[in-house]
Amino acid sequence: MKSLRYLNAVLTLIAVLLTANLWTQWNTTPGGDALSVSTQAKAVGLTNAAQQRKDMISILKKINDDTTGLKSMLSSGSARVRLEAGSSK
């Protein structure tokens, strides 16, 4: 019988908390917007997809050029790495 009392108490507490949560959400926003599963998407920044693609392509070309330059420096041996012991930043 003790476990049944405990179960009833826990279930009652959960029901009260869920009711309080529902009441809070319903009354804190106009028309119960907090209960809505979906929200409306809003575009921020560029909304022109063609311009976004052009910008992305130009950025990728710049990254490719930088990477090619680094690769050629490493291949030719003109890039040098020097390690110094005891220096920390």
Residue 13 placed within a domain: yes
Taking the alpha carbons at both ends of the chain, their separation in whole angstroms is 67
Residue 34 placed within a domain: no
Residue with structure tokens 């405990």?
Answer: 6
Residue 15 placed within a domain: yes
pTM attached to this predicted model: 0.39
Q: How many domains does the chain have?
A: 1
| pLDDT (0 to 100) of residue 83 | 82
Residue 88 placed within a domain: no
| pLDDT (0 to 100) of residue 26 | 76
Measured in residues, the chain has a length of 89
For residues 84 and 79, what is the distance between their CA atoms, to the nearest angstrom? 17
Q: Is 16 helix (H, G, I), strand (E, B) or coil?
A: helix
Residue 23 placed within a domain: yes
Residue 55 placed within a domain: yes
| pLDDT (0 to 100) of residue 16 | 96
Domain extent, residue 12, equals: 2-29+51-76
| pLDDT (0 to 100) of residue 34 | 54
- Parts of the chain with a pLDDT under 70: 1, 29-41, 43, 45-46, 87-89
For residues 9 and 5, what is the distance between their CA atoms, to the nearest angstrom? 6
* C-beta of residue 30 within 8 angstroms of C-beta of residue 24: no
